[in-house]
Structure 1
Amino acid sequence: MFVSYKWLEEYVELNGVTAEQLADKITRSGIEVEGVEMAAEGVKGVVIGHVLECEPHPEADKLNKCLVDVGEEEPVQIICGAPNVAKGQKVAVAKVGAVLPGNFKIKKAKLRGEESYGMICSLQELGVEGKLVPKDYAEGIFVFPNSAEAGEDALSLLNLDDEVLELGLTPNRSDCLSMLGVAYEVAAILGKEVKLPEVENQAAAEKASDYISVNVEAKEENPLYIAKVIKNVKIGPSPLWMQTRLMSAGIRPHNNVVDITNYVLLEYGQPLHAFDYDRLGSKEILVRKAKQDEVIVTLDDAERTLSSDQLVITNGKEPVALAGVMGGANSEVQQDTTTVLLESAYFDGQAVRQASKAHGLRSEASARFEKGVDPNRVMKAAERAAELMAKYAGGEVLAGEVTSDNMEAGKAVVSISLEKINRVLGTDITKEEVLSIFKRLQFEASIEGDIFTVTVPTRRGDITIPEDLVEEVARLYGYDNLPKTLPTGSSLPGGLTPYQSKRRITRRFFEGAGLNQAVTYSLTSAEKAVQYALDIRTPVKLSMPMSEERSYLRLSILPQLLEVVSYNLARQADSIALFELGATFLSNGDGELPAEEEHIAGALTGQWHMHQWQGEKKPVDFYVAKGILEGLFEKLAVNESISYRAAAIEGMHPGRTAEVLFNGEVIGFVGQVHPHVQKNLDLKETYVFELKAAPLFNAELAPLQYEAIPRFPSITRDIALVVDKSTGAGEIKEVILSAGGRLLKDVHIFDLYEGEHMEPGKKSVAFSLRYFDPEKTLTDDEVVKAHDKVLAAVNEKTGAQLRG
C-alpha cells in the first residue's frame, strides 16, 4: 500500500511529524514501512511554461521551435522534440540550471543552429514511471490545465514533492488497504482524531429504481449489492490533483469517471465499478454463478471462458463483469458515455480469489475483496463516488439507490481482563491506560471490575479473540516499553544440544575441506530405495505417491547423491565434491511410522587438487575419501575408536572398499563406486562414503586433557614386515600398538612392496614406530626391549617376518 503524506494530512493532523518520523512510528506499532520515497527528490528548477508560439524547426523535421513564457520578464526560446507540443499549452519546463532525476543538469544549448534555453519535460523525464502516465501523454509531454500559471512550481502541481510511504501489510491488516484505514491507524498512534470526508448529494427528481433493478441469485457469495445511477455525465480528464494522487498510489489515470472509482477505492478501501448504462443492454442487474464455459470479454480485451463456480454480474442475459475482479468490455465507460450505473458491493473473498487465480487476473479490487472489505463502507463509498461524479463529471445523481441486502454485519464483541493483559505482556498497565488505548483506536470499550468489554468496529475484521486485544494494547503501548528480563534456569533457551553442535561441526568441516552441501529428495524409486543401505529392511511405500520415481522412502542417501554427480558431469562440471547430512527411513512394520536415522554421506570425482601453473594434479582416490573421514573423526575426537576393514558391498568396487567401524561396530563404508554402476550413470571414477551419524554424535568423550610440550627427544624405528597378501595392514598396526606399551606413541605405514623380489603370495609392509618417554631421555636398551616385544607379537599373531 502506497500512502501519500500530503493526502494523509487531509484526514489526520500530523503537527509537524515528518514522513520519516511517521514511518518510524508506524513500524514500531506493528506495520512495517518498507520505505519513504519522493519521486522528484533532488529535482529543482521545473516550472509551468506557457507556449506562446510553436513552429517547425527550420533545419529538423522532428523538432519544434517554441517561444515559452516561464514567468520571467521575457519569454525564452526552447527547442522541443515532443510530437504533441502546440501553441497555447501549459507545460512543465526545466529552466537553464535546473536539475532532473539522475542529476541531469539543464544547460543552454544549440540544436541544429537554434538556441534552446531549457527543456519542455514529459512526466517520465520528471521521474514518473511510464506505466503510470496517462495514455494521452505517454508518447509526449504532459499538458497542464489552463488554470496553471506560468512560473508556478510544476513539481508541486504534479504532487512530485510529496513523500510516499510504502506499507508492507500482512494479510490480517486489510483495514490499512485504504487511506481512511491508514488514517485511523496514524490517529491512534499520534492520539489524534480522524476527519472523515463530508458527503452531500443533491439528488435529481428521478429515481434510480426507475432505471435499474437488482436481483441476486448467489446471495451467499454476494450478500450486499448497491446500484446508483448518475445521468448527464461528461467524460473528460479528472482533476490534476486526483490524477497525481492516483499515480503516487501506483494507478494510471484514465478519465474522470474511472478515476473517481479508483480514487474512492484508495480512500475507502471499497472497490467500485462504473458501467455505461446505455451499453448495459437492459434495465436489470442479475448476479449469479456463471454457466459452464460461458464467455466474457474483459476490459483488457481478453476473451475468458468461465466455470460454474465463478460469480458474474449480468444484464439478465449475458455477463457484463467478473464479480470483484474485472469489468466487461461490452459495458465499458467510453468517451460518449452519458449515464453511469455505479456498482458498490460486498463479494465473498474466497469466491473472488478463486476466480482471480483461475484467470490469472490480479487487480486492486480483487486484492481487497480477497482480504475482506468493511461492509459498513459499501454504501458510504457509493455515495462518495456519486458526489465526486456530480462535482467533476457534471453528473446528476438520481434519487436513492437500488439494493439487494442480505448482509449480517454485526460488530464483534470481545472481553478480556486487565490481569490477562498484564500477565501476557509482563507489564503493570493501569485500567485508565488500557481504556485510553481503546479510545485512541476508536473502539467502544467499557469496564466492569477487572473485565474490559470491547465492541470492535467492522473495519477491523482481524480482531475476534482476546489475544487480538492484547496485541492492540501492546503495540499502542509501545513494544519498546515492554519490560525486559534475562532468562534464568539451568538450561537456557537457544543453546545447541551436543548432538546439534556436532552436526554443525560436521557441516563446517566438510565445507572447509572443499565439499559442497547437497540436499536431495528423501523420496525415490523401489529399485534405488534399497541400494547402498546400511540396514537392510523393506522400504516404506507412500500411500499416495506423486510418481513412481518418488514412491518410496530412502534407506540410503548415496543413490540420490550419485544422481546429482551424474547431473553435474553431464553439464561439464568435471570435478565434484558433495556431502549431505540427511534422514533415512527404516520400516517398523505395517501400521507403524518408520524410524528416522540420520546419515552422513559424500561423493567425490575428478581432480582433488589442480595447480595449472605448477602442472600439479591430484585426482580423487580412495585415500582422499578416507582422509576426509579421518579428518572428520579427529575433529569429533573419536578417531581412536575408529577402525577399517576390507569389505565387499553390492554396488561398490570389490578391491577399493572398506567398512568403517566405531568401537568394533560397523557404522558405514568408504570406497569406489563399482565400474558397472559408474557406466550406467555416465560417471567417471567416483568415490563415496556413508556413515550413521548417531554413534558419532552421541559418543561420550573423556574430558579434554592437556600434556606438557616434550622436553626429551623421541626415537624412531622403521621395520619392514613380510606377511601374507591376505593380511591387512590395519590388523598388523593394531598388534604393534597393543604390544608397544606406554613408550610407543605413534605408528604409521610408509611403504608397501609387492614386486618381483617378493615371493608369491607375500607382500612387504613398512611401518615407522616412534618411542618416547615424557619424563626422561630413552636409552637404547629401553627402546630395544620394547621393540623386541613388538616384533615378537607381530610374528606370533600375524606370522610377520622382518624383511632381510
Structure 2
Amino acid sequence: MFVSYKWLQDYVDLTGVSANELAEKITKSGIEVEGVEILNEGIKGVVVGHVVERVQHPNADKLSKCQVDIGEGEPVQIICGAPNVAQGQKVAVAKVGAILPGNFKIKKAKLRGEESNGMICSLQELGMEGKIVPKEYSEGIFVFPADAEVGADALALLNRDDEVLELGLTPNRADCLSMLGVAYEVAAILGREVKLPETSLESLSEKATDYVKVVVEATEDNPLYVAKMIKNVKIGPSPLWMQTRLMSAGIRPHNNVVDITNYILLEYGQPLHAFDYDRLGSKEILVRRANDGEKFVTLDDVERTLTADHLVITNGTEPVALAGVMGGANSEVTSDTTTVLLEAAYFNGATVRKASKDHGLRSEASARFEKGVDPNRVRVAGERAAYLMAKYAGGEVLEGAAEVDTLTVEPAVVSVTLEKINRVLGTGLEMKDVEAIFDRLQFGVSVEGDTVTVTAPTRRGDIKIEEDLLEEVARLFGYDNIPKTLPIGSTTPGKLSEYQKKRRVVRAYLEGAGLYQAVTYSLTSEEKASQFAMEKRDFIRLAMPMSEDRSILRLSILPQLLEVLKYNSARQNDSLAVYETGNVFLSNGVDVLPEEKEHLAGAITGLWNNHSWQGEKKPVDFFVLKGILEGLFAKLGLTERVAYVQAQVEGMHPGRTAEIRLDGSKIGFAGQLHPSVQKDLDLKDTYVFELSLKAVLGVETEALQYQSIPRYPSITRDIALVVNRETVSGTLKDIIVKAGSPLLKEAYVFDLYEGDKMEEGKKSIAFSLKYVDPERTLTDEEVTKVHDRVLEALKEQAGAVLRG
C-alpha cells in the first residue's frame, strides 16, 4: 500500500512528525514501512509556463519554436519536440539551471540553429512512470488547467513535493489497504483524532428506485448491493489534485467519474463500479451465478468464458460486470455518458478470488475483496463517491438508493484479564493504561473487575481472540518499552556431539575427494526397496502413499543414488561421483516404530581423471573406489582396524566386490555393479559403496599421534611368492606385517602373474617390503634376520615359497 504523506494529513494532524519519523513509528507499531520515496528528490527549477506563441521551427519539421512566459518578465524562447505543444497552454518548464531526474542539467542550447532557453517537460521527464501518466499525455508534454499560476512551482501542483510511504502489509491487516485505515492506525500511534471526509449532499426529489430495481439471487456471495443514481453528469478530466494523488498511488487517471471510483477505493478501501445507465439496456440489476459456458467481454476487450463458480452483475439477462473483478465493455463510462449507476457492494472474498484466479485478472479491487472490506463502509463509500461526482462532474444525485441487504455483521467482542496481559507481556500496566490504548484505537471498551471487554469495529476484522488484544496492547504500548529479562537457571551451551563432528569430517573429506553430495527420497518402490540392503527385513509400507513409486521406506541408499547417475547420464553428464548420508528404515514388526540407522553410500561412474592436454584419461575402477574409502578411514583413524574381504552381494559384480569389516564385524561393502544392472540403468562401468555410518562413527578411536619423518635410510626388499590360486593377497600381507614387526614399516603388492609358466592352480604375487628403524641405520644382517623370519612365516602359515 502506497501512502501519500500529504494526503494523510487530510485525516490526521501530522504536525511535528516528518515522513521518516512517521515511518519509524509505524514500523515499531507492527506494520513494516518498506521505504519512504521523496517524489521530487534531485529535481529543482521546474515552474509553470504559459506558451504565448508557438510557430514551426524554420529548419526542422518535428520541432516547434515557442515563446514561453515563466513569470520572470519577458517570455523566453524554447525549442520543443512534443507533438501536442500549442499556443495558450500552461506547461511544466525546466528553466536554465534546472535539474531533472538522473542529474540531467538544463543549459542554454541551440537546436537546428535556434536558441533554446529551457525545456518544456513531459511527466515522464519529471520522473513519473509511463504506465501512470494519463493516456492523452503519454506521448507528449503535460498541460496544466487554465487557472494554473504562471511561475508557480510545477512540482507542487503535480504533488511531487510529497513523500510516499510503502507499507508492507500482512494479510490480516486489510484495514490498512485504505487511507482512512492508515489514518486510524496513525491516529492511535500519535494519540490524535481522525477527521472523516465530507459526504453530505442535497438529493433531487426523484428517487433512485424509480430508475432501477436490484435483485440478488446469490445472497451468500453478495449479501449487500447498493445502487445509487447520478444524472446529468459531464464527463471530463478530474481535478489535478485528484489525478496526482492517484498517480502517487500507482493508478493512471482516466476521467472524473472513473477517477472518483478509484479515489474512493484508495480512501475507504471499498471498491466501487460506475455503469453507464443508458447503455445497461434495462432498469434492473440482477446479481447471479454465471451459466456454464456463458460469454462476457470485459473492459480490456477480452472475451471471457464463465462458469457457475463466477458471480456476475447482469441487466436482467446478460452480464455487465464480473463481480468484484472487472466491469464489462458493454456498460463502461464513456465521454458521452450522462447518467451513472454507481455500484457499492459487499462480495464474498472466496468467490471474487476464484474469478480473479480463473481469468488472471488481479486488480486493486479484487485484492481488497479477497482480504475483506469493512461492511459498514459500503454505504458511506457510495455516498462519498456520489458527493464527489456532484462536485466535480456536475452530477445530480437522486434520493436514496436501490438495494438488497441481507448482510448481518456483528462486531467482535473479546475479553482478556489484566493479569494475563501483564503476565504474557512481562509488563506492569494498570487498567487505565490498557483502557487508554483501546480508546486510542477507537475500540469500544468496558471494565469489570480485572477483566477488560473490547468491542472491535468491523474495519478491524483481524481482532477475534484474546491474543489479538494482547498484540494490540503490546504494539501500542511500544515493543521498545517492554522490559527485558535474562533467562533464570543453569544453561548448557549448544555444541556438536562427537558423532556430529565426525559426520562433518566425512562430508568434508568426500567433497574434497571430488564427490558431490546428493539428497534423495527416503521413499521408494517395492521393487527397489530390498536392492543392496545390508540387512534383510520386512518392508515398511506407508498407509497412504502418494504413488507406488514412493510407497516403501528404503532399506538402502544405493538405489536412489543410481537413479541420480541414470538421470545425469541421460543428459550427457556421464562422469559423475556422488555420495549421500541418510537414514535407512528397518522394520521391528507390525505397529512398532522402525529402527533408523544412518548409512553412507557413494556411486562413481565414467572418467576419474581426464587431462586432455597430456592425453591422460583414467576411467573409474575398483582401486579408485577403494582408495577413496581408505583415505576416509585414515581420516577417521581406523586404517589398521579395517579389512577388505572378497564377497558376493546381489546386484554386484561377483569378482569385483569386497565386504568391508571393522574389527572383524561387517560394516558395509564396495565394488562394481553387476553388468546386467549397469545395462538396465544404461550406465558405463559404475562402482559403489555403502557403509553403516552409525557403526563407523560410533567406535572409539585413539587420540591422534604424530610420528617424525625418519632421519635414517630404509632398506627395501622385493619378494615374489608362489601360492595357491585361491589365496588372497590380504592374507599374505597380514602374515608379512605381523612377522616383520617392528622394523617392517610398509608392504604392498606390485605384481600378479598367473601365466602358462606357472604350475596348475598356482599364481605369483610380488610384494615390496620396506624396513626402517627411526633411531639408527639398519645393517644388512639385521634386515636379513627379520626378512628370513617373514619368509618362514609365509611358508608355515600360507604355504608360500619364493618364486625361482
TM score, norm. by length of structure 2: 0.89
Q: CA deviation at 1:668?
A: 3.2
**3-state SS in 2 of match to 1:520:** coil
Q: CA deviation at 1:797?
A: 4.3
Deviates more, 1:51-60 or 1:394-403: 51-60
Superposed, which structure 2 residues align to 1:199-210 within 5 Å?
199-210=199-210
Q: What amino acid is the match of 2:765?
A: S
**3-state SS in 1 of match to 2:672:** strand
Q: For residue 280 of structure 2, what is the aligned residue in structure 1?
A: 280
Q: What amino acid is the match of 1:207?
A: K
Q: What amino acid is the match of 2:763?
A: K
Distance 1:24 1:703 in 2: 59
**3-state SS in 1 of match to 2:173:** helix
1:626 maps onto 2:665 in alignment: no
1:12 maps onto 2:23 in alignment: no
1:81 maps onto 2:89 in alignment: no
Q: CA deviation at 1:634?
A: 4.6
Q: CA deviation at 1:364?
A: 1.0
Q: For residue 300 of structure 1, what is the aligned residue in structure 2?
A: 300
Instruction: Give the conservation status (yes or no) of the 8 Å contact 1:721–1:800.
Output: no
Q: For residue 645 of structure 1, what is the aligned residue in structure 2?
A: 645
1:124 maps onto 2:124 in alignment: yes
Instruction: Give the conservation status (yes or no) of the 8 Å contact 1:260–1:389.
Output: yes
Instruction: Give the conservation status (yes or no) of the 8 Å contact 2:653–2:674.
Output: yes
Deviates more, 1:406-415 or 1:438-447: 438-447
Superposed, which structure 2 residues align to 1:410-429 within 5 Å?
410-429=410-429
Q: For residue 604 of structure 1, what is the aligned residue in structure 2?
A: 604
Q: For residue 258 of structure 1, what is the aligned residue in structure 2?
A: 258
Instruction: Give the conservation status (yes or no) of the 8 Å contact 1:175–1:459.
Output: yes
- Render the CA deviation track for 1:467-506: whole Å, top value 9, x for unaligned: 1222222223333333444456666486555555554444
Q: What amino acid is the match of 1:764?
A: I
**3-state SS in 1 of match to 2:72:** coil
Instruction: Give the conservation status (yes or no) of the 8 Å contact 2:729–2:765.
Output: no
Q: What amino acid is the match of 2:372?
A: G
Q: For residue 767 of structure 2, what is the aligned residue in structure 1?
A: 766
Q: For residue 267 of structure 2, what is the aligned residue in structure 1?
A: 267
- Render the CA deviation track for 1:54-113: whole Å, top value 9, x for unaligned: 233333333323222233333233332222222222222233333322233333333333
Deviates more, 1:501-510 or 1:387-396: 501-510
Deviates more, 1:149-158 or 1:276-285: 149-158
Superposed, which structure 2 residues align to 1:226-245 within 5 Å?
226-245=226-245
Deviates more, 1:87-96 or 1:727-736: 727-736
Deviates more, 1:260-269 or 1:153-162: 153-162
Distance 2:418 2:471 in 1: 13
Q: What amino acid is the match of 1:267?
A: E
Q: CA deviation at 1:762?
A: 2.1
Distance 2:509 2:26 in 1: 45
Instruction: Give the conservation status (yes or no) of the 8 Å contact 2:736–2:747.
Output: no
**3-state SS in 1 of match to 2:438:** helix
Q: For residue 335 of structure 2, what is the aligned residue in structure 1?
A: 335
Instruction: Give the conservation status (yes or no) of the 8 Å contact 2:771–2:783.
Output: no
Instruction: Give the conservation status (yes or no) of the 8 Å contact 1:271–1:365.
Output: yes
Instruction: Give the conservation status (yes or no) of the 8 Å contact 1:228–1:400.
Output: yes
Distance 2:479 2:720 in 1: 76
Superposed, which structure 2 residues align to 1:91-130 within 5 Å?
91-130=91-130
Distance 2:610 2:579 in 1: 20
Instruction: Give the conservation status (yes or no) of the 8 Å contact 2:749–2:765.
Output: no
Deviates more, 1:496-505 or 1:241-250: 496-505
Q: For residue 457 of structure 1, what is the aligned residue in structure 2?
A: 457
Q: For residue 144 of structure 1, what is the aligned residue in structure 2?
A: 144
Q: For residue 314 of structure 1, what is the aligned residue in structure 2?
A: 314
Q: For residue 25 of structure 2, what is the aligned residue in structure 1?
A: 25
Unpaired runs of at least 5, structure 1: none
Superposed, which structure 2 residues align to 1:274-673 within 5 Å?
274-487=274-487, 492=492, 495-496=495-496, 499-537=499-537, 539=539, 553-573=553-573, 575-586=575-586, 597-609=597-609, 619-636=619-636, 641-673=641-673
Q: 1:602 to 1:9 in 2, by over 3 A?
A: farther
Deviates more, 1:574-583 or 1:370-379: 574-583
Instruction: Give the conservation status (yes or no) of the 8 Å contact 2:637–2:702.
Output: no
Q: 1:766 to 1:278 in 2, by over 3 A?
A: same
Q: What amino acid is the match of 1:324?
A: G
Q: What amino acid is the match of 2:473?
A: V
Q: 1:766 to 1:494 in 2, by over 3 A?
A: same
Instruction: Give the conservation status (yes or no) of the 8 Å contact 1:750–1:768.
Output: no
- Render the CA deviation track for 1:232-277: whole Å, top value 9, x for unaligned: 1111122222222222222222211111111111111111111111
Distance 1:420 1:786 in 2: 85
Q: What amino acid is the match of 1:328?
A: G
Q: What amino acid is the match of 1:624?
A: V
Distance 1:162 1:676 in 2: 75
Distance 1:158 1:323 in 2: 34
**3-state SS in 1 of match to 2:206:** coil
Superposed, which structure 2 residues align to 1:719-798 within 5 Å?
720=719, 722=721, 723-734=723-734, 743=742, 747=746, 749=748, 751-754=750-753, 761-766=762-767, 768=769, 795-798=795-798
Deviates more, 1:161-170 or 1:564-573: 564-573
Distance 2:726 2:374 in 1: 85
Instruction: Give the conservation status (yes or no) of the 8 Å contact 1:652–1:674.
Output: yes
Distance 2:272 2:47 in 1: 36
- Render the CA deviation track for 1:410-436: whole Å, top value 9, x for unaligned: 121212222222322333334343333
Distance 2:248 2:743 in 1: 82
Q: 1:78 to 1:728 in 2, by over 3 A?
A: farther
Q: CA deviation at 1:179?
A: 1.5
Q: 1:660 to 1:60 in 2, by over 3 A?
A: farther
Q: For residue 700 of structure 2, what is the aligned residue in structure 1?
A: 701
Distance 1:230 1:573 in 2: 71
Distance 1:66 1:140 in 2: 15
Distance 2:437 2:719 in 1: 88
Instruction: Give the conservation status (yes or no) of the 8 Å contact 1:289–1:311.
Output: yes
Q: For residue 212 of structure 2, what is the aligned residue in structure 1?
A: 212
Instruction: Give the conservation status (yes or no) of the 8 Å contact 2:28–2:479.
Output: yes
Q: CA deviation at 1:638?
A: 5.2
Q: CA deviation at 1:216?
A: 1.8
**3-state SS in 2 of match to 1:603:** strand
Distance 2:48 2:351 in 1: 48
**3-state SS in 2 of match to 1:172:** coil
Q: CA deviation at 1:203?
A: 1.6
Instruction: Give the conservation status (yes or no) of the 8 Å contact 1:256–1:393.
Output: yes
Instruction: Give the conservation status (yes or no) of the 8 Å contact 2:26–2:33.
Output: yes
Instruction: Give the conservation status (yes or no) of the 8 Å contact 1:737–1:744.
Output: no
Q: For residue 172 of structure 2, what is the aligned residue in structure 1?
A: 172
Pairs aligned (count): 800
Distance 1:597 1:402 in 2: 72
Unpaired runs of at least 5, structure 2: none
Q: 1:708 to 1:536 in 2, by over 3 A?
A: closer
**RMSD of the alignment, in Å?**
3.4
Distance 1:437 1:745 in 2: 86
Distance 2:245 2:732 in 1: 86
**3-state SS in 2 of match to 1:53:** strand
Instruction: Give the conservation status (yes or no) of the 8 Å contact 2:93–2:118.
Output: yes
Instruction: Give the conservation status (yes or no) of the 8 Å contact 2:637–2:704.
Output: no
Q: CA deviation at 1:529?
A: 4.2
Q: For residue 63 of structure 2, what is the aligned residue in structure 1?
A: 63
Deviates more, 1:18-27 or 1:209-218: 18-27
Distance 1:749 1:660 in 2: 19
Deviates more, 1:377-386 or 1:120-129: 120-129
Q: 1:420 to 1:60 in 2, by over 3 A?
A: same
Q: What amino acid is the match of 1:187?
A: A
**3-state SS in 2 of match to 1:171:** coil
Instruction: Give the conservation status (yes or no) of the 8 Å contact 2:712–2:772.
Output: no
Larger Rg: 2
Q: 1:278 to 1:519 in 2, by over 3 A?
A: farther
**3-state SS in 2 of match to 1:187:** helix
Instruction: Give the conservation status (yes or no) of the 8 Å contact 1:719–1:802.
Output: no
